[in-house]
Amino acid sequence: MSKVGQPAPLFSLFDTEKNKVNLADQKGKNIVLLFFPQAFTGVCTTELCTVRDSISQYNNTNAQVYGISVDSVFTLAKFKEEQQLNFPLLSDFNKEASASYDSLIQDFVFDMKGVSKRAAFVIDKEGIIQYAEILDKVTDLPDFNAIQATLARLN
SS3 64: strand
Q: Is 49 a catalytic residue?
A: no
Average pLDDT of 124-130?
97
Q: Assess if CATH 2.30.30.90 describes domain 28-138.
A: no
- Position 113 scores a pLDDT of 63
Average pLDDT of 48-70?
96
For the chain, give the percent of residues with pLDDT over 90.
84
Out of 33, 44, 90, 138, which one is annotated catalytic? 44
Which residues have C-beta within 8 Å of that of residue 129, sequence separation ≥ 6?
A: 2, 3, 4, 5, 6, 7, 8, 121, 122, 123
Average pLDDT of 40-48?
94
Average pLDDT of 56-65?
95
